[in-house]
Amino acid sequence: LSAGTLGDVANLMGELSPGDIAHLISSSPPPFRHVLWQLLEPEQEADVLNELPDELRNVFLEEMQPEALADIVGKLDDDDVADILQELPDALTNQVLEVMDEQDRARIETVLGYSDDVAGGLMSTDTITVRADMKLEVVLRYLRRHAVLPENTDAVIVVNRKDQYVGLLPVRTLLVSDPGVSVREMMDTTRDPIPAMLPATEVARRFERNDWISAPVIDDDGALLGRITIDDIVDVIREEADHSLTSLARIGEEDTFSTVLHTAPRRAIWLGINLLTAFIASSVINLFQGTIEKVVALAVLMPIVASMGGIAGTQSLTVLVRGMAMGHINKRNEGWLIGREAMVGVLNGVLWASVVAVAASLWFDDWTLGFVIAAALIINLITAGVTGAVLPLILQRLSIDPALAGGVVLTTVTDVVGFLSFLGLATLFYM
């Protein structure tokens, strides 16, 4: 990037939306990211920062002064501010809070009191509330006194004298109703509010199932604390789906353009864990050195049994982990699922065992070998199906993330069972 093009890029960025600029920055390798950040107009910084992925945002934030930070957070919704402050070192967070005005600070502290994986941490305290006994024309006049309404205001919230949630008055209703009637007659009281401690994933499910744009958040006494809007829920859905993918692939949380020194250690841990389990599988093979020395074809064919078990197990595990993430799996249906996976294992085991038996027998001109590998394959595919289904259920009960730990334990089981059944049966028949 020469000096001339830098100016062009700066002009271009002036015309893009904050989301597009954030996307441009996250699609650039690290060295260019700082250049792009420097080119931003100061008034764009707050919104762009808000759209950046967490890790990347922290890189820029840690380089800023508390005053500049306070200035930036002053322009954002409080749920977004809380999100940013939660990720910063405590000392810096306190410095930023000190330079904010009192009202802002009080609001931010309410949201900061909740972790960002429950409803309270996702909410904004910026709400418009009315009373049930107001006439709609009064509501309309009251709204008109605002310079701007909070973003995604699809409904005003109806509260009682104690500030407890009573119902919602959708803007769509407000716009088409007779101004002379009262809020009470037009409000929707069937919408359950969201308790502040409800997990974020459950909040996302309620939004998805009911096609909500925003929803009120209450505390244990029913008092209104704030509201959650769909833009933050879209992020929760994206992160939740991403979590299953990255966990099952053992990459952990990683940005597409993380540097080598950031990426290598995180992945090294998973490779190390895999190395341990691979040594366990090797020690199983080691038990059968004598058999392998006599029938070398066993060494040629044994990876087939292990690999087929690994794939079948991963299929089964992924269906369960995904079903769990979507909230489909519960005590009433888990027995049915385990049975289904076992049956799929039996059918696909018998199918591919027949093929492998014939192929192996012809290749090495040895029908005993064909029988042994077929039996081992059936045993391993059934084991894989059942383990892939039972394992995540057990891990969840032990409060271990099934997506993260599942794959490692599963391949250990399918490798060990695969080698043990294949080489064990071979020892019975050949020795």
Which one of 36-44, 119-127, 181-189, 349-357 is the stretch in contact with its own copies (CB under 8 A)? 349-357
Using the rule CB under 8 A, is 147 a contact of its own copies? Answer: yes
362 binds its own copies (CB under 8 A): no
Question: What torsion, rounded to 10 degrees, do the Cα atoms 294, 300, 305, 308 define?
Answer: 180
Apex CA 80: angle with CA 16 and CA 161, to 5°?
A: 125
Structure tokens at 90: 């405590």
- Pick the closer one to its own copies by CB: 96 or 156: 156
Nearest CB to its own copies, comparing residues 98 and 242: 242
Q: Using a CB cutoff of 8 Å and minimum separation of 24, what contacts does 384-387 make?
A: 384/309, 384/310, 384/312, 384/313, 384/316, 384/345, 384/410, 384/413, 384/414, 385/312, 385/313, 385/316, 385/341, 385/342, 385/344, 385/345, 386/338, 386/341, 386/342, 386/345, 387/313, 387/316, 387/413, 387/414
Cα-based distances in Å from 47 to 30, 35, 345? 20, 18, 51
> Does residue 140 contact residue 171 with C-beta atoms inside 8 Å?
no
Does 425 help bind its own copies (rule: CB under 8 A)?
A: no
Letters for 61-100 (x = contact with its own copies by CB under 8 A, - = none) are ----------------------------------------
Q: Is 259 in the site for its own copies (CB under 8 A)?
A: yes
Q: C-alpha distances in angstroms, 9 versus 2, 22, 37, 51, 209?
A: 11, 14, 11, 19, 42
263 binds its own copies (CB under 8 A): yes
Q: Phi first, then psi: give them for residue 28, nearest 5 degrees.
A: -110, 140
By beta-carbon proximity to its own copies, the closer residue of 97 and 292 is: 292
Contacts with its own copies, 9-28, as mask; x by CB under 8 A:
--------x-xx-xx--xxx
Q: Least distance to its own copies from the beta carbon of 154, Å? A: 7
Q: Rounded to whole angstroms, how far apart are CA atoms 420 and 287?
A: 9
x-marked contacts with its own copies along 159-198 as a string, rule CB under 8 A: ------------xx--xxx---------------------
Among 340, 371, 390, 401, binds its own copies (CB under 8 A): 340
Give yes or no for residue 213 binding its own copies (CB under 8 A).
Answer: yes
Which tokens belong to 410? 């599963």
Instruction: Assess 2 for contact with its own copies (CB under 8 A).
Output: no
Residues 102-131 that bind its own copies (CB under 8 A): none
Could you tell me which stretch among 88-96, 102-110, 195-203, 237-245 binds its own copies (CB under 8 A)? 237-245
Stretch that binds its own copies, among 36-44, 82-90, 215-223, 281-289 (CB under 8 A): 281-289
Chain residues 33-52 in contact with its own copies, contact rule CB under 8 A? 51
Least Å distance between CB 159 and its own copies?
Answer: 19
Q: Are strands 129-131 and 155-159 parallel, antiparallel or unpaired?
A: parallel
Pair of tokens at residue 137: 């024309």
